[in-house]
Structure 1
């Protein structure tokens, strides 16, 4: 999404009509990859977000409520994760904008790197099974990508805490963290995304539409678990902040209070926040890694 970054960098400001998106791109108050930020802001500025989203949001949430009634009566009658991911793949390939697809695939990569960073910086913990997700094209979606992402998060927290209890250790501040899992170069080798006239749907609309689809194809328990996983951002954020000793950086975290489950009707919006939280946390880790490398270089010289 380098060309979107250049778009904002070359944008001329009109003092009488300043751009909301331009201002946010230039703002550096929170760590965020410039390429990902440009892609997100460009995608958010689409007309579909402004004019279509209010209607899509209402109908999508109505669909969730109706499906909730259906699932309450027959919670396990439909369990088709493969069909779900084929549907997601078709929607992403033919209807979602290239920027949105870039951000979605990037999210899985960043999430895997963040979990690995935490594992690498907990003393005396080595035997935690990991299932890193590194999708480089949309075909990877068909391999239960979204469902596996949720399972990875839960299993990591459970396995990590069981291992720490067994070894009698805890997550602590690390003076010289191991940043080997964190990629500082944003140029992930994603395959080119389709960019035809039908690829006009922005990320927010896509998530709202996909959420009831997700609910329809999964059991009630699977969807409820996936919805609640969004609030685990606070848990992962606290782990990383403890290692880095910078709890103040959690100010950008929005999916809080994991012990207080929220209605599934808000899942789509919280999923967007989940993506932003992951970007900010990974951006913080990139920032800290570059600072550490710079300090080592200065000491060496």
Structure 2
């Protein structure tokens, strides 16, 4: 992996990648940030993405027209996921594959954190692939279904008990951990050069073509739930910091599918940041706002009792 700290600092020509790596305002672990920036600074992203993005978005429009003529139930989900697994193994860069695989683990852990710290515990269906071939088990589709099913299940449970998500002085962080995935284990063939953003732009119209319209729109709209999940975490921790750099909002205003590829990249980054913040709180590196609020409340109650 590129060590961005070794990049020389020329004040007349400063490296933007060194600046982004050293900047600590974005809560992302150093090893993840290094992989992200190496992928972002690749030749693939610099030279291929500007050509692939307009072609991909044009394809989305053409496929939408084609879908008018196809049966509504037209779908080949297994073929889609086999195609994705094949291309990831042979054409996608190690960093991009690693970040994609991490995303399933992080998303599952974040939902488990919210479900485990809700007033009434809510079960989740974690997705924790160990290899790229696990993608064949319709993992991308299941990821989208999991998110919507969790939001529905959680809020039905809360409503039935007349409850709301609120501050938890001693949150349960037991479900949070670093995914057991190694960057060194990702495929490194001669053609594994496609960066994350380029791969997602290419995959989006393929996803649209091989799924039903309903599945594709649901997948696109799932990106709008970034803010919803972040609000849940912020309420549990009494920490507005968890709303940092969210760009897929607002959940009640669905966006066009044309920018779904770019929004998916933002979704991945938001997930990494939220998981990082939770891990820092679990380790005690970052103080728990909810715990501090509880202490202040207890102190205030004692003062009021003394006055009485």
Question: TM over 0.5: same fold?
Answer: yes
Which deviations, in whole Å up to 9, do the C-alpha atoms of 1:76-108 show, x marking residues without a partner? 252111000000001100000000000000000
Q: 1:294 to 1:168 in 2, by over 3 A?
A: closer
Distance 1:21 1:187 in 2: 27
Paired residue secondary structure (1:252): coil
Paired residue secondary structure (2:244): helix
State the match for 1:299 in structure 2. Answer: none
- In structure 2, stretches of 5+ residues that fail to align are 292-308
Paired residue secondary structure (2:185): coil
State the match for 2:116 in structure 1. Answer: 120
Distance 2:71 2:208 in 1: 11
Distance 1:202 1:99 in 2: 8
Among 240, 246, 252, the residue aligned to 1:247:
240
TM-score if structure 1 supplies the norm length? 0.91
- Runs of 4+ more than 3 Å apart: 185-191, 292-296
Q: 1:280 to 1:294 in 2, by over 3 A?
A: closer
Among 17, 38, 43, the residue aligned to 1:42:
38
- 8 Å contact 1:72–1:220 — kept in the other structure? no
- 8 Å contact 2:233–2:242 — kept in the other structure? no
Which deviations, in whole Å up to 9, do the C-alpha atoms of 1:46-79 show, x marking residues without a partner? 1111111111000000000000111133252521
Which deviations, in whole Å up to 9, do the C-alpha atoms of 1:129-148 show, x marking residues without a partner? 42101112101100101000
State the match for 1:228 in structure 2. Answer: 221
Superposed displacement of residue 293, structure 1: 9.2
Distance 1:44 1:287 in 2: 25
Q: How many residues align?
A: 289
Among 26, 33, 38, the residue aligned to 2:22:
26
Q: 1:26 to 1:80 in 2, by over 3 A?
A: same
- 8 Å contact 2:115–2:124 — kept in the other structure? no
State the match for 2:57 in structure 1. Answer: 61
- 8 Å contact 1:136–1:191 — kept in the other structure? no
Aligned counterparts, 1:1-301, within 5 A:
3-4=1-2, 7-123=3-119, 125-126=120-121, 128-183=122-177, 185=178, 188=181, 192-291=185-284
TM-score if structure 2 supplies the norm length? 0.89
Q: 1:190 to 1:130 in 2, by over 3 A?
A: farther
Distance 2:74 2:118 in 1: 40
- 8 Å contact 1:137–1:190 — kept in the other structure? no
Larger Rg, first or second structure (1 or 2) = 2
Superposed displacement of residue 177, structure 1: 1.0
Superposed displacement of residue 189, structure 1: 5.1
- 8 Å contact 2:106–2:179 — kept in the other structure? no
Superposed displacement of residue 230, structure 1: 0.6
My pick for the range that moved more, 227-236 or 30-39, is: 30-39
Q: 1:166 to 1:191 in 2, by over 3 A?
A: farther
Distance 2:260 2:206 in 1: 12
- 8 Å contact 1:89–1:141 — kept in the other structure? yes
Query: What do you get for the CA RMSD once the two structures are aligned?
Result: 1.9
Q: 1:157 to 1:133 in 2, by over 3 A?
A: same
Superposed displacement of residue 291, structure 1: 1.6
- In structure 1, stretches of 5+ residues that fail to align are 297-301
